[in-house]
Structure 1
Amino acid sequence: MPDSSRFAHRTLGTTNAGTANIGTMGVAPRPVLRHLLAPAALTLAALAGVAHRPWLTDHIAPFAGRMTAEGVVAVLAATAWLGAAWAGSRVIDVVMARSVRAVPIPRLLTDLLRAFLYGLAVLGILAFVLGQPVTGLLATSGVLIAVLGFALRNMIADIFSGIALNIEHPYRIGDWIELAPGLTGRVDEINWRATRLITLEGTALVVPNGLAAGSRIVNFSQPGTGFRATLTVTLDPEVPVARAKRILLSAIVCCDSIPAEPRPDVVVESVTLNGVTYQARFWVPDYAHLASGRDAVASAILEHLTRAGLEPARPKQELRRPRPAQPLQASEELGQALLSKVDLFAAFREDEVVELAAGMHVRHVPAGEAVVRQDELGTSLFLVAEGALDVRGAFGGRTILLDHMGPGDVFGEMSLLTGQPRSASVIANTDAVVYELDKEALDPVLRRRPELAARLADLMGLRQRRNDAHRRASTPATATPAATDHDLLARLRAFFKL
């Protein structure tokens, strides 16, 4: 019986020169004609011999006898039946090769069709060539069929389950499916008896079709390629729900590997003695990216919680009265902690950092609102405490997404130190909390220690060169020449009148 997979591969194969696929311009390519030519020629030649039976008999009988002549004619008739079945199987291969470009066809289906054709050919030979009563033959073989069916009942059940699976199509070749806990993989083959899966670990998993048909089938690849995944996080009940959702959502948004659309979200799953359990829900392109997506989201959530001064809830051993939250004290401590990690203020003493932190004020920015807009004047710097923000720039009449920012990121240093207009707009992707440090808070420190101006100019120049390199890598058309450290120092001194 011809091998359909090898035939499909040969007929669909293309060369580097771009060999046309089957059906191009309505003309079948030469490989298809070549594979149909042999069975067609054999069938026609055998039919021609059978049609000239009297002539063959008259010419063979004088030399080999009449019985031999009749045998030759019978062989030609059987060859015609088998040749027709062979040609029909090749036609099936051509049809499957045409459709395999859109949807892979299980091998079981083509095998069943070919078996049906050859079965008809055998019955035709028995009935019309050998003159045997087919109905009687089928009746007398009933006992044998019953014995074989009982002995091979499990295998027969798998075969008929495979037929049902191919009719209903709960999964196709290439789909990621889960048949039971621990039975998850990509469908590589559906044959007569079993479904072959390839797991994420690269191992083959052979599942009998009877088990697959009787299991709850979860198809991760239908109706579309992407699907939504979840990650649960439990936080202390003292954390306000709105703040918890803001922190968790911003962590997901800041993951570059997670698609922005459909938009991720965070919902409350349950409230227990250990705390409030949240579901971080996001989309992954396919099951193969599920583990890496969860890893990226979990890592980002832990980082954002740490920057916000929080941690996942721990199991409670005893009940205790909840302590009221102290948002003002926590806000001051968080602002000082964020400011102390900014490399721009690395040369400042601890007491000076505390003084600057005391001069900052908190801004709550709803999603979609602009913190700063491009080309507007400003004299302040911003530190992101919670949430995710998008950096967008207008260039050549179109707006470009330049970067994402999350907790710990800083923007607006050029406006704070030189009064330069904002170079880009910063829009809140989620609800966000930012700390604003204005020129009036920095001015007294610089007047007491003018030598800090040179250090600020050096660090500001370093940050500007790093930011410009990042923007050139992502959007080369937006790159602008960076100012020298000497120019920055002169502008800083003039702005603060030092």
Structure 2
Amino acid sequence: MPMRARRGAAAVIAGLLAVAGFTLHRHAGGLLAAIGLDVAAPVENVVALAGGVLGWLGLAYLGVALTDAAVARATAGSLRGPPPRLIQDLARVVLFAAAVVAILAYVFDLPVGGLLATSGVLVAVIGFALRNMIADVFSGIALNVEHPYRIGDWVEVAPGVTGRVAEINWRATRLVTRDQVSVVVPNGLIAGSRFLNYSYPERHYRANLRLALDAAIPVERAKRILLAAALGAPRVLAEPRPQVQAEGLDERGVCYVVRYWVADYADDNPCRDAVMSNIARALQQAGIGPAFPHREVALTRPAERRARMGLADMLRRVALFREFDESDVEVLAAMARERPFREGERIVAQGEAGDSLFLLAEGALDVRVAAAEGERPATVDRMLPGEVFGEVSLLTGQPRSASICAATDGIVYEIRKEHLEPILRRRPRLAEELAALMSRRQSANRERMEAASTAPGAPPAAAEHHDLLERLRGFFGLS
């Protein structure tokens, strides 16, 4: 039976009991005689008293049922979980206490005025002794009326005390932390101090991550690196978009704050870990170490030379160049052309001719594939610093297989055919290794690309390897 129907049935039963009880209380003798029972006066009085007690208790229960229905109706449209039981519990206490007083006064004809006066003194004594607990109770009532938080919300009631609201009772609120530790906080303490609700007015909220980088690093470059890392982190919401701001200066360098949005406070730690891990990888790819207070004079290389050495390190980490000699990698790093780009700029277009490879040094790029001519390209991947694209065009001269668009500002380095040709002519066996590597990479990417393309499937791996090798040799004029 649905909850609404059960509440309705309970209210009807309580009303019938109240009517039956009051009727029996006023007309006990007549009702007993009507059903053929001839009882003594004491028995008739007991039946009448029982009817009066039943009537008042039934009336109190009817009030409880109506209160529950009113609270349920008032919170029916709420998306923040079930309402606390404190209001219903308070209504029960008040209604049944009133029923007891009414029974004493109207059923047993006892003088309740003196009783209430005497009990008032007793209540004052007890209230003074339990004033803190009573304050917590009334604070709980105020919290339930205002609803600053509900069951399931994540709240921070004190520095280091954050948890999900599991229960709100008469005296306290019970929280469960992310370590699955139960924390009981008196309602008076919460009502009398400032607390944070991470689940209201919306479940998602903005988190901040602060770090310092060396002041020698240009601010715009640092922002590009940090923003790309935040955009590429899993669990971080794409909208609203992450932001990076320079917050200040100290003895370590420039202080930055990375602001990103989290779907729910329960995801705060995983999101922070993902963002920090991405930032660490991006800084490593860019050749940037942690900032520390400067207390010594150091001889540094010119900025251009440092950048080229960092590029050589990045090239060594790319699988395509792992078989190259150290000297060959340094030559490529020295000849590579730096190409800054702006957010929204298209680096290469699908289907256009090309004979160069690009290494992403800073920023983030989107890989977009058009299923058919005239259709809107679909974003199939996001590239982060250290990744390369365009290697097939560099080695075989084939048209670009996808469009690469800038998700943030950044920098790529371009390696052209004329940069690589002297190395391949000097070491022809590299052609076979490069063809095998390209074949494996294309096989790994095939499933992802076919999801966004209706083009026919690729040939078998052996045939693909042979085809790539022949194209590479023909493109570079190798025997």
TM-score by structure 1 length? Answer: 0.88
Structure 2 Cα separation of the partners of residues 51 and 138 of structure 1: 26
Matching of residue 335 in structure 1 with residue 300 in structure 2: no
The residue aligned with 1:486 is 466
- Counterpart of 1:489, as a letter, is L
SS at match of 1:362: strand
Matching of residue 70 in structure 1 with residue 45 in structure 2: yes
The range that moved more, 101-110 or 189-198, is 101-110
The residue aligned with 1:3 is none
Give 1:327 deviation, angstroms.
Answer: 2.6
The residue aligned with 2:21 is 46
Q: Is the 1:238–1:325 Cα contact (8 Å) retained in structure 2?
A: no
Structure 2 Cα separation of the partners of residues 476 and 197 of structure 1: 50
Q: What per-residue deviation string (whole Å, max 9, x for no partner) do you get for residues 439-485 of structure 1?
A: 1111222222322222211111011111123445x658678425710
Q: What per-residue deviation string (whole Å, max 9, x for no partner) do you get for residues 68-120 of structure 1?
A: 31232122012011012123323333444554673411111111122222223
- Counterpart of 1:481, as a letter, is A
SS at match of 2:215: coil
The residue aligned with 1:208 is 186
Give 1:138 deviation, angstroms.
Answer: 2.1
Give 1:241 deviation, angstroms.
Answer: 1.0
Give 1:331 deviation, angstroms.
Answer: 2.1
Structure 2 Cα separation of the partners of residues 340 and 62 of structure 1: 106
List aligned pairs for 1:157-172, cutoff 5 A. 157-172=135-150
CA 1:311–1:199 in 2, change beyond 3 Å: closer, same or farther?
Answer: same
CA 1:377–1:230 in 2, change beyond 3 Å: closer, same or farther?
Answer: same
Matching of residue 413 in structure 1 with residue 388 in structure 2: no
- Counterpart of 2:458, as a letter, is P
CA 1:468–1:236 in 2, change beyond 3 Å: closer, same or farther?
Answer: same
List aligned pairs for 1:98-109, cutoff 5 A. 99=75, 102=78, 103-109=81-87
Q: Is the 1:391–1:403 Cα contact (8 Å) retained in structure 2?
A: yes
- Counterpart of 2:310, as a letter, is L
Structure 2 Cα separation of the partners of residues 487 and 325 of structure 1: 45
- Counterpart of 1:73, as a letter, is A
List aligned pairs for 1:347-358, cutoff 5 A. 347-358=323-334
Structure 1 Cα separation of the partners of residues 303 and 312 of structure 2: 14
TM-score by structure 2 length? Answer: 0.91
Structure 2 Cα separation of the partners of residues 174 and 62 of structure 1: 59
CA 1:140–1:312 in 2, change beyond 3 Å: closer, same or farther?
Answer: same
Structure 2 Cα separation of the partners of residues 237 and 89 of structure 1: 68
CA 1:412–1:248 in 2, change beyond 3 Å: closer, same or farther?
Answer: same
The residue aligned with 2:415 is 437
Structure 1 Cα separation of the partners of residues 47 and 244 of structure 2: 80
Give 1:62 deviation, angstroms.
Answer: 8.9
Structure 1 Cα separation of the partners of residues 452 and 39 of structure 2: 88
The residue aligned with 2:62 is 87
Give 1:394 deviation, angstroms.
Answer: 2.0
CA 1:108–1:36 in 2, change beyond 3 Å: closer, same or farther?
Answer: same
SS at match of 2:83: coil
Q: What per-residue deviation string (whole Å, max 9, x for no partner) do you get for residues 12-51 of structure 1?
A: 5xxxxxxxxx4xxxxx4xx455544543442333233235
Q: What per-residue deviation string (whole Å, max 9, x for no partner) do you get for residues 129-157 of structure 1?
A: 23334444322222101111111111111
List aligned pairs for 1:93-242, cutoff 5 A. 93-97=68-72, 99=75, 102=78, 103-242=81-220
The residue aligned with 2:336 is 360
The residue aligned with 2:440 is 462
CA 1:51–1:143 in 2, change beyond 3 Å: closer, same or farther?
Answer: closer
Matching of residue 247 in structure 1 with residue 241 in structure 2: no
SS at match of 2:377: strand
Structure 1 Cα separation of the partners of residues 95 and 402 of structure 2: 71
Q: What per-residue deviation string (whole Å, max 9, x for no partner) do you get for residues 337-358 of structure 1?
A: 1222221122222222222222
The range that moved more, 414-423 or 120-129, is 120-129
Structure 1 Cα separation of the partners of residues 41 and 453 of structure 2: 90
Structure 2 Cα separation of the partners of residues 322 and 127 of structure 1: 94
Structure 2 Cα separation of the partners of residues 478 and 432 of structure 1: 32
The residue aligned with 1:7 is none
Give 1:58 deviation, angstroms.
Answer: 5.9
Q: Is the 2:28–2:44 Cα contact (8 Å) retained in structure 1?
A: no
List aligned pairs for 1:15-26, cutoff 5 A. 22=4
Candidates 395, 404, 413, aligned match of 2:371: 395
- Counterpart of 2:137, as a letter, is I
5+ residue gaps, structure 1: 1-9, 13-21, 23-27
Q: Is the 2:360–2:386 Cα contact (8 Å) retained in structure 1?
A: yes
CA 1:495–1:427 in 2, change beyond 3 Å: closer, same or farther?
Answer: same
Structure 1 Cα separation of the partners of residues 113 and 456 of structure 2: 85
Q: Is the 2:67–2:88 Cα contact (8 Å) retained in structure 1?
A: yes
Matching of residue 447 in structure 1 with residue 425 in structure 2: yes
Structure 1 Cα separation of the partners of residues 76 and 160 of structure 2: 30
Give 1:296 deviation, angstroms.
Answer: 1.1
Q: Is the 1:108–1:191 Cα contact (8 Å) retained in structure 2?
A: yes
Structure 1 Cα separation of the partners of residues 110 and 279 of structure 2: 77
Structure 2 Cα separation of the partners of residues 442 and 62 of structure 1: 115
- Counterpart of 2:50, as a letter, is V
SS at match of 1:398: coil
Give 1:409 deviation, angstroms.
Answer: 0.3
Q: Is the 2:7–2:69 Cα contact (8 Å) retained in structure 1?
A: yes
Q: Is the 1:161–1:213 Cα contact (8 Å) retained in structure 2?
A: yes
Structure 1 Cα separation of the partners of residues 144 and 456 of structure 2: 56
Structure 1 Cα separation of the partners of residues 455 and 14 of structure 2: 65
SS at match of 1:353: helix
5+ residue gaps, structure 2: none
Structure 1 Cα separation of the partners of residues 164 and 324 of structure 2: 57
SS at match of 1:484: helix
Structure 2 Cα separation of the partners of residues 357 and 50 of structure 1: 102
- Counterpart of 2:395, as a letter, is L
The range that moved more, 123-132 or 236-245, is 123-132
Corresponding residue pairs, total: 470
Matching of residue 496 in structure 1 with residue 463 in structure 2: no
